[in-house]
Amino acid sequence: MIYGKRIRLAAVEREDLPTFVKWLNDPEVREGLAMYLPMSLAQEEKWFENMLERTADSQPLKIQAQEGQAWILIGNMGLFDFDHHARSAEIGIMIGEKKYWNQGYGTEAVTLLLQHGFETLNLNRLMLRVYEDNLRAIRCYEKSGLAHDGRLRQARYHRGSYQDVLIMSILKSEWDDRKMMRDVTDADK
Protein backbone atom coordinates (compact mmCIF):
# COMPACT_ATOMS: atom_id res chain seq x y z
CA MET A 1 0.00 0.00 0.00
CA ILE A 2 1.02 3.59 -0.61
CA TYR A 3 -0.56 5.83 2.00
CA GLY A 4 -1.53 9.50 1.64
CA LYS A 5 -3.43 11.70 4.08
CA ARG A 6 -6.97 10.64 3.12
CA ILE A 7 -6.31 7.99 0.48
CA ARG A 8 -4.20 4.95 -0.22
CA LEU A 9 -3.09 3.26 -3.44
CA ALA A 10 -3.38 -0.52 -3.52
CA ALA A 11 -3.06 -3.36 -6.04
CA VAL A 12 -6.11 -3.95 -8.23
CA GLU A 13 -7.99 -7.17 -7.42
CA ARG A 14 -10.33 -9.13 -9.70
CA GLU A 15 -13.27 -8.21 -7.44
CA ASP A 16 -12.71 -4.49 -8.32
CA LEU A 17 -13.44 -5.06 -12.01
CA PRO A 18 -17.29 -4.75 -11.95
CA THR A 19 -16.92 -1.33 -10.27
CA PHE A 20 -14.39 -0.25 -12.92
CA VAL A 21 -16.82 -1.34 -15.67
CA LYS A 22 -19.64 0.66 -14.03
CA TRP A 23 -17.44 3.78 -14.06
CA LEU A 24 -16.17 3.19 -17.60
CA ASN A 25 -19.77 3.06 -18.85
CA ASP A 26 -20.74 6.30 -17.07
CA PRO A 27 -20.94 9.03 -19.76
CA GLU A 28 -19.76 11.77 -17.38
CA VAL A 29 -16.65 9.82 -16.37
CA ARG A 30 -15.94 8.82 -19.99
CA GLU A 31 -15.96 12.46 -21.15
CA GLY A 32 -12.35 12.77 -20.01
CA LEU A 33 -11.19 9.32 -21.15
CA ALA A 34 -10.06 7.90 -24.48
CA MET A 35 -13.13 5.64 -24.69
CA TYR A 36 -16.02 5.83 -27.07
CA LEU A 37 -17.57 2.34 -27.07
CA PRO A 38 -19.55 0.57 -24.33
CA MET A 39 -17.35 -1.63 -22.17
CA SER A 40 -18.16 -5.17 -20.99
CA LEU A 41 -16.97 -7.05 -17.91
CA ALA A 42 -15.42 -9.67 -20.22
CA GLN A 43 -13.30 -6.97 -21.89
CA GLU A 44 -12.25 -5.64 -18.51
CA GLU A 45 -11.30 -9.15 -17.36
CA LYS A 46 -9.14 -9.51 -20.46
CA TRP A 47 -7.51 -6.14 -19.68
CA PHE A 48 -6.86 -7.40 -16.14
CA GLU A 49 -5.20 -10.62 -17.34
CA ASN A 50 -2.96 -8.65 -19.74
CA MET A 51 -2.20 -6.15 -17.01
CA LEU A 52 -0.83 -8.93 -14.78
CA GLU A 53 1.78 -9.68 -17.47
CA ARG A 54 3.15 -6.12 -17.29
CA THR A 55 6.14 -5.24 -15.11
CA ALA A 56 5.13 -4.49 -11.52
CA ASP A 57 5.99 -0.75 -11.97
CA SER A 58 3.43 -0.30 -14.71
CA GLN A 59 0.51 -2.13 -13.11
CA PRO A 60 -2.33 0.26 -12.25
CA LEU A 61 -3.31 0.88 -8.65
CA LYS A 62 -6.72 1.40 -7.13
CA ILE A 63 -7.46 4.57 -5.18
CA GLN A 64 -9.26 4.09 -1.89
CA ALA A 65 -10.54 6.88 0.37
CA GLN A 66 -10.68 6.47 4.11
CA GLU A 67 -14.14 6.84 5.63
CA GLY A 68 -13.90 6.08 9.34
CA GLN A 69 -12.51 2.56 9.59
CA ALA A 70 -13.45 1.68 5.99
CA TRP A 71 -11.52 2.09 2.73
CA ILE A 72 -13.86 3.01 -0.15
CA LEU A 73 -12.89 2.26 -3.75
CA ILE A 74 -13.10 5.62 -5.60
CA GLY A 75 -10.87 5.23 -8.65
CA ASN A 76 -7.70 3.96 -10.20
CA MET A 77 -4.49 5.36 -11.58
CA GLY A 78 -1.09 4.31 -12.80
CA LEU A 79 2.05 4.89 -14.79
CA PHE A 80 2.55 3.50 -18.27
CA ASP A 81 4.68 3.98 -21.41
CA PHE A 82 7.90 3.90 -19.42
CA ASP A 83 11.02 5.14 -21.19
CA HIS A 84 13.77 3.68 -19.03
CA HIS A 85 16.49 5.50 -20.97
CA ALA A 86 14.94 8.96 -20.43
CA ARG A 87 13.52 7.86 -17.05
CA SER A 88 10.03 9.07 -17.92
CA ALA A 89 6.49 7.71 -17.81
CA GLU A 90 2.92 8.77 -18.49
CA ILE A 91 0.20 9.13 -15.85
CA GLY A 92 -3.39 7.94 -16.17
CA ILE A 93 -6.12 8.59 -13.58
CA MET A 94 -9.84 8.04 -13.16
CA ILE A 95 -11.86 8.88 -10.06
CA GLY A 96 -15.04 7.03 -10.95
CA GLU A 97 -17.06 7.80 -7.82
CA LYS A 98 -18.38 11.21 -8.84
CA LYS A 99 -19.40 12.27 -5.34
CA TYR A 100 -15.65 12.40 -4.58
CA TRP A 101 -14.95 14.94 -7.39
CA ASN A 102 -13.92 18.50 -6.54
CA GLN A 103 -12.79 17.67 -3.01
CA GLY A 104 -9.06 17.49 -3.63
CA TYR A 105 -8.89 13.68 -3.91
CA GLY A 106 -7.56 13.86 -7.47
CA THR A 107 -4.84 16.31 -6.45
CA GLU A 108 -3.90 14.15 -3.48
CA ALA A 109 -3.79 11.01 -5.65
CA VAL A 110 -1.67 12.66 -8.36
CA THR A 111 0.72 14.06 -5.73
CA LEU A 112 1.06 10.59 -4.17
CA LEU A 113 1.77 9.04 -7.58
CA LEU A 114 4.35 11.76 -8.35
CA GLN A 115 6.05 11.00 -5.05
CA HIS A 116 6.05 7.29 -5.93
CA GLY A 117 7.37 7.97 -9.44
CA PHE A 118 10.15 10.31 -8.38
CA GLU A 119 11.15 9.01 -4.98
CA THR A 120 10.56 5.25 -5.31
CA LEU A 121 10.92 4.52 -9.02
CA ASN A 122 13.61 7.20 -9.52
CA LEU A 123 11.96 8.72 -12.63
CA ASN A 124 12.95 12.15 -13.96
CA ARG A 125 9.86 13.23 -15.93
CA LEU A 126 6.19 12.42 -15.49
CA MET A 127 3.74 13.58 -18.12
CA LEU A 128 0.11 13.20 -19.08
CA ARG A 129 -2.34 14.01 -21.83
CA VAL A 130 -5.62 15.79 -21.09
CA TYR A 131 -8.46 16.97 -23.33
CA GLU A 132 -8.69 20.74 -23.61
CA ASP A 133 -12.28 20.84 -22.30
CA ASN A 134 -11.50 18.74 -19.18
CA LEU A 135 -11.13 21.83 -17.00
CA ARG A 136 -11.46 19.93 -13.72
CA ALA A 137 -8.59 17.64 -14.65
CA ILE A 138 -6.41 20.51 -15.92
CA ARG A 139 -6.92 22.42 -12.68
CA CYS A 140 -6.19 19.26 -10.67
CA TYR A 141 -2.89 18.74 -12.53
CA GLU A 142 -1.89 22.40 -12.21
CA LYS A 143 -2.50 22.18 -8.46
CA SER A 144 -0.33 19.06 -8.39
CA GLY A 145 2.55 21.02 -9.95
CA LEU A 146 2.39 19.94 -13.59
CA ALA A 147 3.29 22.55 -16.20
CA HIS A 148 1.82 22.97 -19.67
CA ASP A 149 4.23 21.61 -22.29
CA GLY A 150 2.03 22.29 -25.31
CA ARG A 151 -0.91 21.00 -27.30
CA LEU A 152 -1.51 18.39 -29.95
CA ARG A 153 -3.86 20.26 -32.25
CA GLN A 154 -7.15 18.54 -33.13
CA ALA A 155 -5.81 15.21 -31.82
CA ARG A 156 -9.20 14.04 -30.53
CA TYR A 157 -12.44 13.58 -32.43
CA HIS A 158 -15.36 13.80 -30.03
CA ARG A 159 -19.06 14.53 -30.42
CA GLY A 160 -18.67 15.57 -34.04
CA SER A 161 -15.69 17.90 -33.75
CA TYR A 162 -11.97 17.95 -33.19
CA GLN A 163 -10.37 18.90 -29.89
CA ASP A 164 -6.83 19.69 -28.84
CA VAL A 165 -5.01 17.38 -26.44
CA LEU A 166 -2.85 19.19 -23.91
CA ILE A 167 0.48 17.76 -22.76
CA MET A 168 1.45 18.51 -19.16
CA SER A 169 4.51 17.39 -17.26
CA ILE A 170 6.65 17.78 -14.15
CA LEU A 171 10.38 17.16 -13.75
CA LYS A 172 12.13 15.70 -10.71
CA SER A 173 13.90 19.06 -10.09
CA GLU A 174 10.51 20.84 -10.04
CA TRP A 175 9.12 18.20 -7.66
CA ASP A 176 12.11 18.78 -5.35
CA ASP A 177 11.57 22.57 -5.47
CA ARG A 178 7.89 22.18 -4.61
CA LYS A 179 8.75 19.80 -1.80
CA MET A 180 11.22 22.30 -0.38
CA MET A 181 8.52 24.99 -0.56
CA ARG A 182 6.06 22.69 1.23
CA ASP A 183 8.61 21.91 3.96
CA VAL A 184 9.27 25.64 4.51
CA THR A 185 5.54 26.39 4.63
CA ASP A 186 4.94 23.52 7.06
CA ALA A 187 7.81 24.75 9.27
CA ASP A 188 6.16 28.22 9.36
CA LYS A 189 2.97 26.80 10.86
Instruction: Return residues touching ligand COA (CB under 6 A).
Output: 29, 32-33, 75, 93-95, 101-107, 130, 134-137, 139-140
Alpha helical stretches, state H, 40-171: 41-53, 105-115, 135-143
Give the nearest distance from C-beta 169 to ligand COA in angstroms: 13
User: Of the two residues 29 and 123, which places its CB atom closer to ligand COA in the complex?
Assistant: 29
Give the nearest distance from C-beta 85 to ligand COA in angstroms: 25
User: Of the two residues 2 and 33, which places its CB atom closer to ligand COA in the complex?
Assistant: 33
What end-to-end distance do the CA atoms of the chain give, in Å? 29
Helix axes 41-53, 17-24, angle to 10 degrees: 120
Give the nearest distance from C-beta 64 to ligand COA in angstroms: 14
User: 105, 66 in Cβ contact below 8 A?
Assistant: no
Give the nearest distance from C-beta 128 to ligand COA in angstroms: 6
User: Of the two residues 33 and 127, which places its CB atom closer to ligand COA in the complex?
Assistant: 33
User: 103, 75 in Cβ contact below 8 A?
Assistant: no
Total residue count of the chain as it appears in this document: 189
User: Of the two residues 49 and 142, which places its CB atom closer to ligand COA in the complex?
Assistant: 142
User: 125, 87 in Cβ contact below 8 A?
Assistant: yes
Give the nearest distance from C-beta 146 to ligand COA in angstroms: 11
* Nearest CA-CA partner of 121 in 113, 129, 132: 113
User: 30, 24 in Cβ contact below 8 A?
Assistant: yes
User: Of the two residues 96 and 123, which places its CB atom closer to ligand COA in the complex?
Assistant: 96
